[in-house]
Chain A
Amino acid sequence: MAVLTLAKALAQAMAEEMERDSRVVVWGEEVAAFGGTYGATSGLLEKFGPERILDTPISEGVIVGAAVGAAMNGLRPIAEIMGINFAFLAMDQIVNHAAKVRSMFGGQFECPLVIRTTSGGGRQLAATHSQTVEHLFAHFPGLLVVAPSTPADAKGLLKTSIRSDDPVMFIEQATMYSDRGEVPDDADYVLPIGKCDVKRKGKDATLITYSKMVGVSLKAAAQLASDGIECEVIDLRWLRPLDMDTIYNSFRKTNRAVIVEEGWPTYGLSAEIASRIYEACFDYLDAPIQRVAQKEAPLPYSGPLEKYMLPKPEDVIAAVKKVF
């Protein structure tokens, strides 16, 4: 195992998969010559040449549309959308085409495609560049949606996504690219689709979260442990499909849950998961499920306001205390 940044882990995953399968190609804005806005495609141009890694115009619609067409016609493209806020410009291709070309044509077409993009706040980029909206994509049958929380997961989940025959929204958090962690060297290090990962064991309360909020929740759990509350921290990894069995099993043990997401709570991920827990585990409920999420306002530029709006370990600790 080597210690890598999350950006390097992504680059390694793509390089290994491009080595393994000549059908894998990469395109997006600034991915080739510049190596990716966050460095995640750094080195690929030198290694694989301009036929396999291509800079595109700033044209999100055709970046994804061309990737869907190429996937239908036998390639396995990785299309990078520089930020999830710009994915709205490609929303039609993602939800009306990538998610549907297989089923709407009765299974005639394949769509093995990865759309890599960057989500989340915390960089003072103001309201249109800071949104956390991955759950919107998880609304659509036909898509897989995944968001890694560590460099090792980033590698394993990206390799799984590239090998998948389905369209995957692979969503990275914008402030995590320089996070460091041990990453398996194994060129076949893949992680199962639709399985979450218990990042910390505990018996008293279940924290359900993903991506950047895994770290926030683990910090909260460490502090709570010193107060004698042992939290189980479940990293969803996949927003679609959701691994509800692991969540139910944990909840049936702890009888208490807090769901932590970076985005807004209304119609969000936490609403969906809470609803499912209530439906499936009502008899196990010791306290109303708590949700920790971003304040329901457009995220401002100003540093202190941005910090105020985004979920912090203290918010998680306060929510956990409410379920006791």
Chain B
Amino acid sequence: MDKALYLDLYKQMVAIRLLEEKCEELYQKSKIGGFMHLYIGQEATGVGAISARQAHDNVITAYRDHGIAIACGMDTKSIMAEMFGKITGCSKGKGGSMHLADVSKRFWGGHAIVGAHIALATGLAFADKYRKSDAVTLCFFGDGATNISYFHEALNLAAVWKLPCLFICENNKYGMWTPIEKVSSVTEMRRKADAYGMPNDLCDGMDVLAVREATKKAIDWVRAGNGPYFLEALTYRYRGHSMGDQRAYRTHDEIRKWQTEDPLGKFEEVVLKAGVPHAELDAIDDEAKRLVAEAVQFADVSPFPANDEIWTDIYADIEPERN
């Protein structure tokens, strides 16, 4: 066991879980608005996959982006401030929960038009390949996004241009409130990659080490110049699609069954069995709680953007016309 690695993976998953639980509470208190999609249950997928990247590799995802942001190393304060709509947020309060990003971490967002960012990912990858960088672009998306034209256009382009792109499908079984088998002619997402001659693999998205290993293998393949790769991670979201979701479309039995697979609980057992004392994990939990509390405090005291802020960042070359 690589103890430092295990503790780091644990720390990130705890950070996500606690952040998301706090976000849920703050949403109910109307501190956070808009649409918000929690990552609870899927922590192992984002953390495991991103732990396998190098710092110059790109990450891009959809709107369920809080966990990916944490896994990319984003500062919790700028995440929380963004959700509060404050000027100190990563996107100056203009993007909100669905549009977190940190270009310094090569985390390219947080995108809320289903599937559109899969097309952006091909461009990110093209730019690195063009510059002869060996960077790989990790593009996360849900099972629901595999039915939109962008998915097919992007996979095809990535394959014909041999782009250094790793497509990671977080299959959580539901596209919004609809089970995947009702809307997808194939329910094994990786088989869609076969249509584009793209090598693909499946991993247990509830097992952080399994995701990490599968991602490492995939990244190695892509970095070696072989073109794109498709990885499907089977996972489950414990909360609804977004806030306000009553979850009536899923049975309690189904949710309970997946909760026995809790990625955080399962990994905690692995770490404890490997001989890490409980107290060390408790200390990590406490530190994560402290960071979340500090982020909430920071977001709370930060100012909202001034009204004039609406005119900034629209154009690089010209002053926008004001009305």
Q: Is the CB of A59 within 8 A of B153?
A: yes
Q: Is B203 an interface residue, CB under 8 A from the partner? A: no
Q: How far is the CA of A25 from the CA of B129 in the complex (A)?
A: 13
- Counting CB contacts under 8 A, is A57 at the interface? yes
Which residues on A sit within 8 Å (CB–CB) of B313? 102-103, 106-107
- B316 touches A (CB below 8 Å): yes
For the complex, is A93 an interface residue (Cβ under 8 Å from B)?
yes
B124 touches A166 (CB 8 A): no
Taking CB atoms and an 8 Å cut-off, the chain A residues in 44-91 that contact chain B are: 51, 54, 56-57, 59, 61-62, 64-75, 77
Within B96-139, the residues touching A (CB, 8 Å) are 99, 101-103, 108-111, 113, 116, 118-128, 130-131
Residue on A with the closest CB to B125? A69
The stretch of B47-55, B156-164, B167-175 in contact with A is: B156-164
Q: Once the chains bind, are A54 and B161 in contact (CB under 8 Å)?
A: yes
List, in ascending order, chain B residues with CB within 8 A of A61's CB: 116, 119, 149-150, 153
Q: Which chain A residue has the least Cβ–Cβ distance from B132?
A: A51
Does any Cβ of B come within 8 Å of A248's Cβ? no
- A-side contacts of B154, CB under 8 Å: 62, 65-66
Q: Which B294-318 residues sit within 8 Å CB-CB of chain A?
A: 312-318
Are A194 and B318 within 8 A (Cβ)? Answer: yes
B215 touches A (CB below 8 Å): no
How many angstroms between the C-alpha atoms of A34 and B102 in the bound complex? 40
Taking a contact as CB atoms under 8 Å apart, the answer to whether B99 and A105 are in contact is yes
A184 at the binding interface (Cβ < 8 Å): no
B142 within 8 A of A: no
Residues of A within 8 A of B103 (CB): 108-109
Beyond A107-B312, A108-B102, whether A97 also contacts B120 by CB under 8 A is: yes
Q: Which residues of B contact A71 (CB under 8 A)?
A: 123
Distance from B89 Cβ to chain A, minimum over Cβ atoms (Å): 7
Q: Are A106 and B95 in contact (CB under 8 A)?
A: yes
Q: Which residue from chain A places its CB closest to the CB of B89 in the assembled complex? A: A106
B253 interface contact, C-beta 8 A: no
Contact assessment for B314 and A59 in the assembled complex, using a CB-CB cutoff below 8 Å: no
Does A96 have its Cβ within 8 Å of any Cβ on chain B? yes
- Cβ B153 vs Cβ A62 within 8 A: yes
Chain B interface mostly helix, strand, loop or mixed? mixed
Name A235-284 residues within 8 Å CB distance of B: 241-242
CB-defined contacts of A54 to chain B, threshold 8 Å: 161
A97 to B99 Cα, complex, angstroms: 12
Q: Enumerate chain A residues within 8 angstroms of B109, measured Cβ to Cβ.
A: 101, 105, 109
A56, A65, A69, A93 interface centre (most CB from chain B within 10 Å): A69
Q: Which residues of A contact B312 (CB under 8 A)?
A: 103, 107
Q: In the bound complex, how far is the Cα of B101 from the Cα of A34, in angstroms? A: 39
- Is B219's beta carbon under 8 Å from chain A? no
Complex Cα distance, B162 from A51, in Å, reads: 12
Q: Is A110 an interface residue (CB 8 A)?
A: yes
Tell me whether A141 is interfacial, beta carbon within 8 Å: yes
Chain B interfacial residues counted at CB < 8 A: 48
Alpha-carbon separation in the docked complex, A131 to B190 (Å): 40
Q: Contact check: which of A25, A59, A93, A241 meets B157 at CB < 8 Å?
A: A59
Chain A interface bracket (under 10, 10 to 19, 20 to 34, 35 or more) = 35 or more
Which of these, B108, B122, B127, B316, contacts A165 with CB under 8 Å?
B316
On chain A, the residues within 8 Å of B113 by CB distance are 92, 96-97
A222 CB-CB contact with B under 8 Å: no
Chain B residues within an 8 Å CB radius of A124: none
A92 and B96 CA atoms in complex are apart in Å by 20
Contact check, B91 vs A106: say whether CB atoms are below 8 A apart.
Answer: yes
Report chain A residues within 8 Å CB of B235: none
| A106 / chain B contacts, CB cutoff of 8 Å | 89-95, 313
Q: How far is the CA of A181 from the CA of B211 in the complex (A)?
A: 61
Residues B116 and A74 in contact, CB atoms below 8 Å apart = no
Which single member of A56, A64, A75, A104 contacts B127 (CB below 8 Å)? A75
Asked whether A105 and B101 contact (CB < 8 A) given A66-B119, A165-B316, the answer is yes
**A104–B130 contact, CB under 8 A?**
no
Is the CB of A193 closer than 8 A to any CB of chain B? Answer: yes
Q: Which of B101, B102, B157 contacts A62 (CB 8 A)?
A: B157
Instruction: Give CA–CA (A194, B313) in the complex, Å.
Output: 18
**B153, A25: Cβ atoms under 8 Å?**
no
Minimum Cβ distance to chain B for residue A307 (Å): 36
Which residues 40-94 in B have Cβ within 8 Å of A in the complex?
58, 89-94
- Which residues from B are CB-within-8-Å of A103? 94, 312-314
Q: In whole angstroms, how far apart are the Cα atoms of A170 and B142 in the complex?
A: 34
* Nearest-Cβ distance from residue A107 to partner chain B, whole angstroms: 4
B225 part of interface (Cβ distance < 8 Å) = no
Cα-based distance from A235 to B273 in the complex (angstroms) = 76
Give the distance to chain B from A257, nearest Cβ to Cβ, in Å: 20
Q: A104-B91, A105-B91 are in contact. Are A72 and B161 (CB under 8 A)?
A: no
Chain A residues with a Cβ under 8 A of chain B: 25, 51, 54, 56-57, 59, 61-62, 64-75, 77, 92-93, 96-97, 101-110, 112, 141-142, 144, 164-166, 193-194, 241-242
Subset of 23 A-B contacts with CB under 8 Å? A54-B161, A64-B119, A67-B123, A68-B123, A69-B122, A69-B123, A69-B126, A72-B108, A72-B124, A77-B123, A93-B116, A96-B116, A97-B116, A104-B95, A105-B94, A105-B99, A106-B89, A106-B91, A108-B102, A112-B316, A165-B316, A194-B318, A241-B321
Q: A70-B124, A106-B94 are known contacts; what are 15 more A-B pairs with Cβ within 8 Å?
A: A25-B130, A61-B149, A62-B153, A65-B154, A67-B123, A69-B108, A69-B120, A69-B126, A73-B128, A74-B127, A97-B120, A105-B91, A105-B110, A110-B316, A165-B317
Top 3 closest A-B pairs, CB basis? A69-B123, A65-B119, A106-B92
